Structure 1
Amino acid sequence: MSLTSQIKEFALDIGYSKVGIIPADSFPEYIDELTNRNEMYAFYINSPNRPLVSAEPRSVMPSAKSIITMVYDYSQKSFPKKFTDVMGRVYQARAYNAPPEHTNGARKQLMREFLSKIGCKVGENIILPERLVAAKAGIVNYGRNNFVYADGIGSFIFLTSFIVDQELEYDQPTVEVGCPDGCSACMKACPTGAIYEPHKINPTRCITFNTNFTQDGMAGSYIQPEMREKMGTKVYGCDICQEVCPRNQARVKGKLPDDEYLLNAEKEFSLAKMLNMTDDFYQRRIYPLMYNYIKDRKYLQRNAAIALGNLGDPEFIPDLTVAMKNQEGLVRGYAAWALGRIGSQQAYQVLQECLTQETSVFVRKELEEALVAIQSISGID
């Protein structure tokens, strides 16, 4: 059996659905795309991932000869609606950059160890343009929503690639679009208009960006009020453009086995608990699903406050009142915005009382704007 066949068989054996291999050449089209849209992608271009450098693999690993890329199907089980209303499926599936002590992380580690065992030197910490790699390897094709799709599965997939120093047998590309002619379901469904034309997305308008990347030291923690209203109840990622896609309906509407872990987790989960989370709740029910991008829980609490504000239910005023005492000004500020969205006499009184005690410039501004919002809607004075 050839080295290529051994690699592909092992990958399929440990749970990957598709495997492809390409030469470790540069990706000039990816470099051009990021460079030409620098204003939109500056947060990523300037990040420690160094995407423009990694897009030329041999500049990072001179001995690189091949890239092995694999599809993992994370939609083999169903996802509870309580969770799909608030977070992306890839996080629920614990598939995205999973630590090695968990199944999805262990699978990647097993693959790396196997490659080393059969004599491959494996590149370290090289962040590749995974979707383009997989398309060039012939295991996915593109959708107009910028996601890639694997035949027989859809776009609810996670891609993993390894660069090795062995020359292997290479696959033929499928750098093409597989969407039905004239379909624009994803563009119409996106609440923020982030997909501004087929295959083009403004990441700063994407709900996932606003829930996950708006942190100090990255893209800044401030979320524009206009975006807050469009985020709905999403607190960690968003699948809307994938949920409406005709190519995903077999999985979205199909009867799939339950994920018992998620069923147990959803019994305890609520946005109100997330807003005022205890250490125990964070460790057991939040971190295992939302560890990927956000390391400081105040951003998760901010997102929960926005979601509760968009629900607009006075039932959550007591929870938001508790959040107004949070030591983090970020949490207090967005809790104030949420109270303004609810807009009742009770919310107005809470905001007025908090304003007399607040010292943070940011929080005072949010309090004042929330009070004005309630006054303009209800005439409360």
Structure 2
Amino acid sequence: MNYRLLKQEIIEYSREIGIDKIGFASAAPFTELKDRLLRQQELGYQSGFEEKDINKRVDPSLIFDEPRSIIAIALAYPSKMKETVKGRKGERRGIFCRASWGEDYHTILRDRLGKLEAFIAAKVPDARFRSMVDTGELSDRAVAERAGIGWSGKNSSIITPEFGSYVYLGEMITNLPFEPDHPIENRCGTCTKCLDACPTGALVQGGQLNSKRCIAFLTQTKDFMPVEFREKLGNRLYGCDTCQTVCPENKGMNFHLHEEMEPEPETVKPLLEPLLQMGNKEFKQRFGYMSGSWRGKKPIQRNAIIALAHFKEEEALPSLIDVLHNDVRPVLRGTAAWAIAKIGGEKARQALVLAISEEKDMEVKEEIERGISSMK
């Protein structure tokens, strides 16, 4: 088998099926990554969404029998909407991050990887594969960096010369010995714009992220959001784009190459108040196809409540008071109490005073008490 020729055929086919960039890497263990992951674990910087076994994250041979190489792919997603909607007083809107626009990227990349697998298998019947997108054991960024897709930026994202960091990543381990490509030289230089702009200081230093402080992580949690981060949230419902939007390498990067990635403005910038009473069925119908819905409606609704406080949206007080008195979920009642206090006014104070006499949950009571105290 002429693997050099096959590699070229794979590259050409990848373009035909809508893969924007492809690279090849060795399947050797990611030894340097292991040290960084261990350090992250020691510092408590991991999100908890990762594969727990660090050895599996850095050694392809532990998850695939006799790996010979890894194929990495990248697909570019848009950074701007072709048409948008604007919020205003009485009709405030939240925002989903760009990586959640359009169809769930896991579905899109798995489709492309599946087509690649079928193409290679038709050429080499005894070929074996293990494809992953985001939720696999390996680090997508480490594979992409080794395969020459891009360099690992100070914002902890892969930055490509062609598309900036607005790319989805996936990879395929195989038993075929493809010649590896070369990594790209890091171009971040002395720039620290992403570190300086991070709302919560989650970027500890270039390339090191404290996930527990990252807004993208915080928007996906289901419990009470720590008070210190609530006012940093703004109107974000899912994810955070700040470290990407300030990056000079992303200036002018806006690619509309895949129809399934196009955002529906009313969905990615939804009205906040209607979210508070949305049922599971309606939530799934409206948002279920997006990656930003994977944690369900509760985090989105909690974040919507915080966003209404961010806007000091007095028109939303009746809806927030309804959540405070009637929602069965303590996290939403308590967050509503915080938001009501932030919006302020006599109506808000009276609602909190009434609620504290009715509330049984201690965490919610504490939120109400703090809210009342902050209004004195």
TM range (shorter): 0.7 to 0.9
**1:299 paired residue number:** 299
Which whole-Å CA distance do the structure 1 matches of 2:54 and 2:86 have between them? 35
Distance 1:199 1:298, change over 3 A: same
Q: How is 1:320-359 mapped onto 2 (pairs within 5 angstroms)?
A: 320-324=320-324, 325-359=326-360
Q: Please give the per-residue CA displacement for 1:108-135, whole angstroms capped at 9, x wherever unaligned.
A: 3323333433332112664211112111
Q: How is 1:1-381 mapped onto 2 (pairs within 5 angstroms)?
A: 2-38=5-41, 39-44=43-48, 47-48=50-51, 50-75=53-78, 78=81, 80=84, 86-98=95-107, 103-118=108-123, 119=125, 120-123=127-130, 126-174=136-184, 176-179=185-188, 181-212=189-220, 214-215=221-222, 221-251=223-253, 262-263=263-264, 265-266=266-267, 269-291=270-292, 293-294=294-295, 296-324=296-324, 325-375=326-376
The farther-off stretch of 260-269 and 277-286 is 260-269
Which whole-Å CA distance do the structure 2 matches of 1:76 and 1:313 have between them? 28
Following superposition, the deviation at residue 155 of structure 1 comes to: 0.5
Following superposition, the deviation at residue 342 of structure 1 comes to: 0.9
Distance 1:113 1:255, change over 3 A: closer
Contact 1:97 1:292 in 2 (8 A): no
Following superposition, the deviation at residue 183 of structure 1 comes to: 2.0
Distance 1:202 1:169, change over 3 A: same
Distance 1:66 1:85, change over 3 A: same
Distance 1:352 1:113, change over 3 A: farther
Q: Please give the per-residue CA displacement for 1:270-317, whole angstroms capped at 9, x wherever unaligned.
A: 1112222134531232222245641x3222211211111222121111
Contact 1:142 1:178 in 2 (8 A): no
1:154 match: secondary structure: coil
Distance 1:223 1:267, change over 3 A: closer
Letter in 1 for 2:200: T
Aligned residue pairs: how many?
360
Following superposition, the deviation at residue 77 of structure 1 comes to: 6.2
Contact 1:187 1:197 in 2 (8 A): yes
Which whole-Å CA distance do the structure 1 matches of 2:334 and 2:322 have between them? 13
Distance 1:157 1:267, change over 3 A: closer
Letter in 2 for 1:191: P
- Please, what TM-score do these two structures have when normalized by structure 1? 0.86
Q: Please give the per-residue CA displacement for 1:165-184, whole angstroms capped at 9, x wherever unaligned.
A: 1111211122x4212x4322
Distance 1:76 1:346, change over 3 A: closer
Distance 1:151 1:113, change over 3 A: same
Contact 1:271 1:308 in 2 (8 A): yes
Contact 1:145 1:199 in 2 (8 A): yes
Contact 1:144 1:199 in 2 (8 A): yes
Following superposition, the deviation at residue 225 of structure 1 comes to: 0.4
